[in-house]
Structure 1
Amino acid sequence: MIPIIPVRDSRPVIARADAATAANAYLKPGIINLSALPPLALYIHFPWCVKKCPYCDFNSHEAQGGFPEEEYLDALRADLESALPLIWGRKIYTIFIGGGTPSLMSAAGLDRLMSDVRTLLPLDGAAEITMEANPGTFEVEKFRSYRASGINRLSIGIQSFNAQHLRALGRIHNDDEARRAVEIAHATFDNFNLDLMYALPSQTMAQATEDIRTALAFAPPHLSLYHLTMEPNTYFAKFPPSVPDDDLSAEMQDMISDATTAAGYQHYEISAYAQPGRQARHNLNYWQFGDYLGIGAGAHSKLSFPHRIVRQARFKQPKAYMQQMAAGHAIEEEVEIGRSDLGFEFMLNTLRLTAGFEPNLFSERTGLGLNAIEAALNAAEAKGLLYRDHKLIRPTLLGQRFLNDLQQLFLVD
């Protein structure tokens, strides 16, 4: 288990030291200096779903016989209240309600949740508030209520418009329900995302092309297109299906790039495509190494303070989480990110952005000078995986294709 590090104040304790000694202490290994705190987002985890998909490694649990909505909402409010001293005075710019299947929540439950959030936190006037939804749970009136409660963006887990592939993926919706869900989203929300996967079991190039063609025909503001992977501790990891080989998968990836570009979408992150101005602001905050408070079962947080950055994890099992929250214990694990790990963690996120980042963002978000990763930058540039100048650092097309290799160059032994 990661050791618990109590956080009570945003500055390290320095006893009986004059100003000069204190200043020097902040420069010793393990201490960083942030000139300003990054933007802050809120993630809320809803851990239940109708049926666990064979590829899913998220913290989700089948809601057999229902779920304790009121008890869980009580726990979420208590969790948020307990976290307030860590984020006091900071504005929330984006909210993401993920799962699981948050659209299982009742309209009244979602309204209560949003009311609690607005009561306890200062929200930016233009906050992006996203909720994940499963096509198998779409009801027109329910989603109108969600919109009235403050949700202004949906992320819909389509995965495929092909009935054969939906069955292979263990999805609870069929191809007609997938199309109906997008139509309801179009009618109810100005902004939404469609999640799709490719390189599916027994998928042909023609079938992958048809999925992308169907998705683009709906003109969604945002598309997330993921390569199916066999994640550890999933059914597919134990019983792998027959999937397209690397060459066919690469051809599918090239097809996706060509089709989305032709339709006017910007490929702004390794798996994300958006119409101009419709990038996912919540996810951009992750990829730019911003801060996020995560509440709910198994939720993770990354929080910055002037002289340290910490990560937290809530209790994972819903029952344990609610019991611990009732006893006043929100956090199961907490650890400070060491100086030697900050470069890798920053680059692990920012290298997912196809347009890269400005060099000064590294210092702004890590409190370190760019020279801390100079050797890795030189190695990546020499391998043709990275482009950089005084205004920009970004992965090359080769770096995007071999992103794992590029990211690992920044991993310190």
Structure 2
Amino acid sequence: MKPQAASGKRQANPNAGTDRLQLEGATPPSCGLQPPPLAAYVHIPWCVRKCPYCDFNSHTTHDALPENEYVDALIEDLEQDLRALEGLPARPLTSIFFGGGTPSLFSAAALDRFLQALNQRVPFADDIEITLEANPGTFEQAKFRDYRLAGINRLSIGIQSFNAEHLKALGRIHDDREALGAVDMARRAGFDNLNLDLMHGLPNQEHAQAMADLDQAMALAPEHLSWYQLTLEPNTVFYSRPPTLPEEDILWSIQEAGLQRLAAGGYAQYEISAYARNGRRARHNLNYWQYGDFLGLGAGAHGKLTDANGKVQRYWKTRLPKDYLNPDKAYLAGSKTLDADELPFDFLMNALRLVDGVPSAWYAERTGQSLEQIADTLNQAEAKGLLEPWHQQLRPTERGRLFLNDLLEMFL
């Protein structure tokens, strides 16, 4: 990819609210901490249809997408975020994730233009992982090939189920044949790193149906599987009009049998709902859970940045696409620098999702706080059988993973 400058830049309106991130301690002090790895999340907010279970920032569109205008906005948004990193040690991007919405509604040319602009402003790691979320029914073979040529090297395909009845209940626009075809097209386009998104505990789903979905997914031999239970989230159609979901004993049997099948198939669980073949863990998601930094670009995107003193800032962007594209509106909707008493929960909420946890030393390195400050609570969690001995590794026990909310509440 050749670097390319942005076109049609807009100037953020200084009267429209905060339009620039401010990191404290932008000039590293003598005792400055090295900031954690840096990634980028890019949100494409449009969908063909809003699924009844979805609580992500997605918006149905029946018109032509404003690709050029949106890419221009993403580039200007990026430039504003990068000003907050001035004075900090330079970091290459270790991963980029295009999420949504349905990013595969965008053309490869549009995504390529953004990647060129991003690479011009922030160097890419030599082994960078670039993931695109793609839904069956939104692309064809040539589009997959062009995504690969643009530098995208990992696909996350939203299958959810291979059962026609369940796909209809979930409001998906594809059928089982399109799901299988999507994987075939991805392979023929040269993608050798695929994640399949699969849900269980679906409306009226029986144990055997959930296992059939999982068996079909593993038969396609993806490098990674995201396998998780459907939950009813606020502000969704399913939340206001709940479907009939399987009983608790069925859900438990699905979970137990599924874990056995995945392990036997060579998919090791490394996070609550993430399973990978050897060497194929999702680098971008690992960066979240290991408390790395990430730029949040696009309508409704969230980001996290750390200053040289370990102060952590969470921030989020204007949510509605029409506002994000409005030259009179600011990209940045809000931000918050975490207080010292908020950091333990924020760090552990991510780290303890991992089966192996994280090295204990990372807590001080990535928060600027001593782990001894929360030693009493860590000891209590260990005594309750929720946490492994913690001086070398912050790692939940099997019981701790089952009762993760109880474990995390101890740090509130």
User: When the two structures are superposed, what TM-score results if normalisation uses the length of structure 2?
Assistant: 0.91
Q: Is the 8 A contact 2:131 2:153 kept in 1?
A: yes
Maintained 8 Å contact 2:201/2:245: yes
1:217 corresponds to which residue? 219
1:322 aligns with 2:336: no
Is the CA contact 2:57–2:100 (under 8 Å) kept in the aligned structure 1?
yes
Give the counterpart of 1:73 among 47, 71, 90: 71
Change in Cα spacing, 1:8 to 1:357, as seen in structure 2 (3 Å) is: closer
Q: Is the 8 A contact 2:19 2:331 kept in 1?
A: no
Aligned partners of 2:21 and 2:83 also within 8 Å: no
Would you say the 8 A contact 1:76–1:295 is kept in 2?
Answer: yes
| Regions of 4+ moved over 3 Å | 3-10
CA distance in 1, matches of 2:234, 2:57: 13
1:333 counterpart residue number: 334
Change (3 A) 1:180 1:5: closer
The structure with the greater share of residues assigned to helix is 1
Q: In 1, Cα distance between the equivalents of 2:307 and 2:154?
A: 30
Query: Structure 1 residue 36 and structure 2 residue 34: aligned?
Result: yes
Take 2:23 and 2:312, find their aligned partners in 1: how far apart are those partners?
12
Shift of 1:375: 2.5
Residue 312 of structure 2 is matched in structure 1 by 309
1:209 to 1:251, Cα distance in 2 relative to 1, 3 A: same
Task: Find the aligned partners of 1:66 and 1:254 in 2 and give their Cα distance.
Answer: 45
Residues 41-97 of structure 1 deviation map (CA, whole Å, 9 limit, x = unaligned): 000000000000000000000012232111111111111111222234321110000
Residue 109 (structure 1) shift = 1.3
What is the CA-CA distance between 1:372 and the residue it aligns to?
Answer: 2.2
AA of the residue aligned to 1:385: L
Residue 358 (structure 1) shift? 1.2
Match of 1:55 in 2: 53
- The sequence identity of aligned pairs, in percent, is 51
- Secondary structure of 1:209's match? helix
8 Å Cα contact 1:230/1:240 also seen in 2: yes
Report if aligned partners of 2:78, 2:297 keep a CA contact under 8 Å in 1. Answer: yes
Corresponding letter in the other structure for 2:298: G
- Given residue 318 of structure 1, which amino acid in structure 2 is its aligned partner? P
Task: Tell me what 1:140 maps to.
Answer: 141
Distance 2:198 2:21 in 1: 39
Cα distance change of structure 1 residues 4 and 79 upon mapping to structure 2, 3 Å threshold: closer
Counterparts of 1:370 and 1:4 in 2: how far apart (Å)?
34
Q: Which secondary structure does the structure 2 equivalent of 1:341 belong to?
A: helix
Structure 1 range deviating more: 380-389 or 224-233? 380-389
Structure 1 residue 12 displacement after superposition = 7.5
Q: 2:25 aligns with which of 3, 7, 11?
A: 11
- 3-state DSSP of counterpart to 2:42: strand
Classify the secondary structure of the residue corresponding to 1:381. Answer: helix
Please say if residues 5 and 336 of structure 1, whose CA atoms lie closer than 8 Å, have aligned partners that are also in contact.
no
> What RMSD in Å do the two structures reach over aligned CA positions?
1.8
Amino acid at match of 2:163: N
Structure 1 pair 7–215 and aligned structure 2 pair: CA distance change class (3 A): closer
Amino acid at match of 2:70: Y
8 A Cα contact 1:344 1:410, kept in partner: yes
CA 1:77 to 1:6, structure 2 compared with 1: closer, same or farther past 3 Å?
closer
User: Residue in 2 aligned with 1:241?
Assistant: 243
Q: Secondary structure at the match of 2:372?
A: helix
- Aligned length, in residue pairs: 390
Work out the CA distance in 2 between the residues paired with 1:353 and 1:187.
33
**Residues 320-359 of structure 1, C-alpha deviation per residue, up to 9 Å, x if partnerless?**
0111xx3472211011011100000000000000011111
Which residue, out of 289, 296, 301, partners 1:287?
Answer: 289
Write out per-residue CA displacement over residues 189-223 of structure 1, whole angstroms, 9 at most, x where no aligned residue. 01010000000000000000100100010110000
Q: Is contact 2:18-2:330 (8 Å) kept? A: no
Q: Structure 2 CA distance, aligned partners of 1:376 and 1:296?
A: 38
3-state SS of paired residue (1:38) = coil
Distance in 1, Cα, partners of 2:152 & 2:338:
33
Q: In the alignment, which of 227, 252, 255 is matched to residue 253 of structure 1?
A: 255
In structure 2, C-alpha distance between the alignment counterparts of 1:111 and 1:36, rounded to whole Å: 31
1:80-91, aligned counterparts within 5 Å? 80-88=78-86, 89-91=90-92
Moved more, 189-198 or 244-253: 244-253
State how far apart, in whole Å, the 2-side matches of 1:82 and 1:131 are: 24
User: Equivalents in 2 of 1:353, 1:121: separation in Å?
Assistant: 29
Distance 1:143 1:41 in 2: 23
- Structure 2 gaps of 5+ residues are 1-16
| Contact 2:41–2:96 under 8 Å retained in 1 | yes
